[in-house]
Amino acid sequence: PGRVIITTFASNISRVKQIVEIAHAWGRKTAIIGRSMENYSRTARELGHFDLPDGALMHPGDIGKLPDHELCIITTGSQGEPTSALSRMALGDHRHVAVKDGDTVVMSATPIPGNEELVSRTVDNLFKLGAEVIYEPARRPHVSGHASQEELKLLLGILRPKHFVPIHGEYRMLVRHARMAMDLGVAPENTFVMTNGDVLEFGGKGAALKERVQVGQVYVDGLGVGDVSQAVMRDRWSIGSDGFFLVVVTIDRQTGQVIAGPDIVTKGFVPEHDASGLIDEAKARILSALGETQTGDHLVEAATLRDEIHGSLSAFLYERTKRRPMVLPVVMQV
């Protein structure tokens, strides 16, 4: 009796069309929500692949004008993407749709490997809002949009390609697709299973793999694109996971004696009300380590003192907390 909200892949135009037609047959108008799905649907209509009965679609802004039993909503978010329309509905943060008791949500898509946690979180949030969610494989709310083996064979038989490069899917799928092509007559030397960075060059004599191109993740950091090193990312991960300890100590250049500090600033490591005792012990450990390093009358280099503080303090903190914050020693010799 309530609203029906269905999420599927935005590019699966045939399924979107099926949903709209079925909803229309049952006296429901359909609102399509989500930028990518709206774009795909608009393009399909312009190309003549999305012919629908008159009055079958409605603007999302008019959802509140119809009774629930006359509404169907098709939306993006089948993979639990944090910024998708369905995820925002599940968080009560969508401008057109507020999920409520009586709504039925159909997850007409199988979670892509790696997205299970996001999808599960979205389903839980929808249940919390009172919706009934149909997502279990046993209820078959989804049929794969990927071609089956026989369909792939049919396409190869129609096209009869000279060269074959399987794409999309896990590497094992590419290998099996390539084997299928070879079984159907494509020459092994003209069949290429490629990975990111491989270069395939076509020329008068056919196709051949050339020297690989270095590829990888491109990090965007403020105004910088691709200029964030792995070392920087490791440092950020370390600080983000266990926090950091900044140690500042001033040493007399002539005598090697500590004349100020050690002063310690810590962030993201332990709660402030638990830190005072630990910091006092850390200061004592630092002074002890410096005392052992400063032997004789010769001057110990600041770099050596920094290394000693870093090693001693890191070992102490792990011993006491089983955590490894980033330790940043600053040694000033005056």
pLDDT, tens only, 76-108 = 999 999 999 999 999 999 989 999 999 999 998
pLDDT, tens only, 308-322 = 878 888 888 788 778
In this predicted structure, the answer to whether residue 188 has a pLDDT above a threshold of 70 is yes
- Is the distance from CB of 52 to CB of 95 less than 8 angstroms? no
The secondary element (H helix, E strand) that includes residue 15 is: helix 13-25
How far is the C-alpha of 238 from the C-alpha of 282, rounded, in Å?
20
| Span 176-196, average pLDDT | 94
- Is the distance from CB of 147 to CB of 116 less than 8 angstroms? no
What is the per-residue pLDDT for 90? 94
pTM of the model: 0.59
Q: Domains in the chain, start-ordered, CATH in brackets?
A: 4-139 (3.40.50.10710), 149-210 (no CATH), 227-333 (3.10.20.580)
End-to-end CA distance of the chain: 80
- Is the distance from CB of 269 to CB of 245 less than 8 angstroms? yes
The more confident residue out of 82 and 142 is 82
Question: Residues 6 or more apart from 51 whose CB is under 8 A from it?
Answer: 45
In this predicted structure, the answer to whether residue 279 has a pLDDT above a threshold of 80 is no
How far is the C-alpha of 139 from the C-alpha of 153, rounded, in Å?
29
In this predicted structure, the answer to whether residue 296 has a pLDDT above a threshold of 60 is no
pLDDT, tens only, 30-47 = 999 999 999 999 999 899
How far is the C-alpha of 286 from the C-alpha of 246, rounded, in Å?
12
Q: What is the 3-state secondary structure (H, E, C) of 305-330?
A: HHHHHHHHHHHHHHHHHCCCCEEEEE
- Is the distance from CB of 306 to CB of 293 less than 8 angstroms? no
